[in-house]
Amino acid sequence: MPQKRSNPHFCTTQDLSNLIIGPSGGMYVLPHEPWNEVYPGILIGDKHTALCTHTLKDIGITHVLNAAQGNDSNYYKGFVNTNSTYYNSVGIAYKGFPAADLLSFDLSQYFAEAANFIEIALQNKGKVLVHCYQGISRSATLVIAYLMLKCGMTAQEAIKTVRSKREIIPNNSFLRQLCDLNQRLAAQRTY
């Protein structure tokens, strides 16, 4: 018997995709800005924002979470080659994950660690930039996971929150991973 769709703790990739494209008339749209504050103290941005330490200091960034850490290769283009040393001179705390924006990549392995890093930044009255290459898929997925894990939001609520401030396009595998997280969190809350 199929699961009821009215249950807010049940979602499909199509449900989440519809929430993303709904505000733009049913189309995926790229962000108009290099970065946006999507939740108090949390910004999602692109590679160029992350590489400009003067901009980061100007907008008050104290922490950077790189969801695309690594060097571009013949195999995959889409990494941002930074590390903690890159930000040491400007006093910005850093965490990076070597995540690829591929359907085969398991980004969920970083959900808890990313959420903890963001939470520490906010608890210390900091401001965190979560970025990947374009600031639309890996970074958005990690912020949505944070809102689910630390703020008690469902996947739908978290996507609506982020999408109301920035155009995002998480890949379908990442959306499925968010649905899986949604189900796990709902099961934990019922016990």
Q: Enumerate residues 6+ apart whose C-beta is below 8 A from 123.
A: none
Residue closest to 182 by CA, chosen among 12, 36, 46, 50: 12
Give the strands of the sheet with 42-45, arranged side by side. 35-39, 42-45, 128-131, 63-66, 93-96
Region of 125 (left: φ > 0; alpha: ψ -120 to 50; beta: rest) is left
> Per the residue annotation, which of 11, 52, 132, 151 is the catalytic one?
132
Active site residue 52: no
Cβ proximity of 182 and 155 under 8 Å: yes
The structure tokens 């790229």 sit at 30
Catalytic residues: 132
